[in-house]
Structures are given as C-alpha cells and as structure tokens.
Amino acid sequence: MRHPAAMSAFGDRLLPQALARRERVADSVYELLADAVLRGELRPGGRLSVPVLAARLGVSRTPVREAIQRLVSEGLAVEQPHRGAVIASFERPELIEIYETREVLEGLAARLAAARITAPARDVLRGLLAEHRAAVARGDTAAHFELDLRFHRLVAGAARNANLAHALGLLQSKVRLAMLSTSVTAGPAQALIDHETILAAIETGDGARAEDAARAHIARLTRALRES
C-alpha cells in the first residue's frame, strides 16, 4: 500500500498538468470557433451542437462545451430554449446600443493613446492607414472592413489600458459579427478620413481632439444605423 503522503505528492504533480492540457484544448477550440463565427463560416442563428462539433474537431465534448460557454459569455452566442447555444444575431436596436457604448470607449482609447503611444505603435498605425488608402482606392470592401477593425484594435492597444482593450475587444467582436448581417456603413472613404483625423490628433498629443474625433467617427455610424 502506498504511503498517503506519496500519493498526495503524486496527485499534486499530475493535477495541474492535466488541467493545463484541458485548458489548452478548450482555448484552441474556442479560437477555432470564434474565428469561424467572425469569418462567417458559422452563420448567425446557426446551432452550436456539442456532439457535432466535438466529432468534427476530433476532441472530447468537455472542451467544446467550455469553448461554447465562453462564446456565450462574450456575446457571440446565446442560449435558446430547446436548441441550446446558437450564434448570436443582432437586431438594429441592440446594435445601436453597442455603438453608443463603443463611442464612449473609443473616445477614451484615443485620448489615452495621444498621451501614451509609442513610436513603433505610431509607425504601425501609419502603415495600416497606407494599406487602407490602397484598399479604398481599389474598391476592396473586404479589406476595408478588416483594416477598419485593425485600426481600432491598434488604437486600443496604444492606449495601454488592459481593461479598456478587453472591453473594446468584446464590442468590436460583436460589431464584426453584426457586419455579416447588415450593410449599414458611413462609407469606406469617410471611415478612412475619420481614421486619418484620429491619428493626426494622437500624433500631436492632443487628447481632447483625439477623443472628439474618435467619438464623432462612431457617432456617424450610429446615425447611419438609426436612419437606415
């Protein structure tokens, strides 16, 4: 019979490793599902079946269930009676609420970025705007949407506030998902102009002007949603 202390030490060594393996699988499944949702490969309203997804991905049901619950907690999926989890879809009133919240947070991110941006982060934003100009010039709508979201993620990163970046990331994921079912926009050319104005204010260190420009940019989209 094994000594109780030896058994305890043996268990203490193995348990964290087992948990880490499970968490890594759940994280990988979440990343695959979230990417498929945001790319439109899994469509809004589609059911997220744990057995089906587990079989397709070649994993057990537990990490799939955990990944789906994470999608639900982040607003990318919702639980429905008798159906389980389905990919979220957004009615216009809910999308307007998202943009109203986003306006405030994007404004704060721009204000903080004006005070905290580093030279490398500034250069990355400049390069991204050059890509965006080229995409708008050739009429590449898919590239426009991707570069638009990247611009906002980079500004949030330049603000160097982890809580703010996390909150904006959740909202921006919902916005990206909503783009799959709505074509409401203020136009790629106007978005590019707005981004250039925001970056110019950030580069001069004018936090108030950067915040005003960022809020005006999102408010324009909110108006487009209300009026469409």
Averaged pLDDT for residues 218-224: 91
**pLDDT at residue 16, rounded to an integer:** 41
**Range name among 13-22, 107-116, 215-224 with the lowest pLDDT average:** 13-22
Averaged pLDDT for residues 76-88: 91
What confidence tens digit (pLDDT) does each residue in 156-186 have? 999 999 999 999 999 988 888 887 766 666 6
Question: In this structure, what token pair is assigned to residue 24?
Answer: 């890594």
Average pLDDT, the chain: 87
Residues of the chain with CATH 1.20.120.530: 92-227
Neighbours of 15 (CB within 10 A): 10
CA 96/CA 174 separation, integer angstroms: 12
Asked if residues 125 and 203 have their Cβ atoms less than 8 Å apart, the reply is no
Fold category of 4-87 in CATH: Arc Repressor Mutant, subunit A (1.10.10)
**Helix (H), strand (E) at residue 47:** none
Longest Cα separation, the chain: 76
Calculate Rg over the CA atoms of the chain: 21
Residues of the chain with CATH 1.10.10.10: 4-87
Domain 92-227 belongs to what architecture? Answer: Up-down Bundle (1.20)
**pLDDT at residue 38, rounded to an integer:** 84
Q: Where are the alpha helices (DSSP H) in the chain?
A: 4-38, 50-57, 61-73, 92-116, 119-137, 141-158, 162-178, 188-203, 207-227
CA 117/CA 205 separation, integer angstroms: 9
**pLDDT at residue 182, rounded to an integer:** 67
170 Cβ contact partners less than 8 Å away, ≥ 6 residues apart: 74, 75
Q: Phi and psi at residue 201, in whole multiples of 5°?
A: -70, -40
* pLDDT band, very low/low/confident/very high, at 124 (cuts 50, 70, 90): very high
- Given a cut of 90, whether residue 202 has pLDDT beyond it is yes
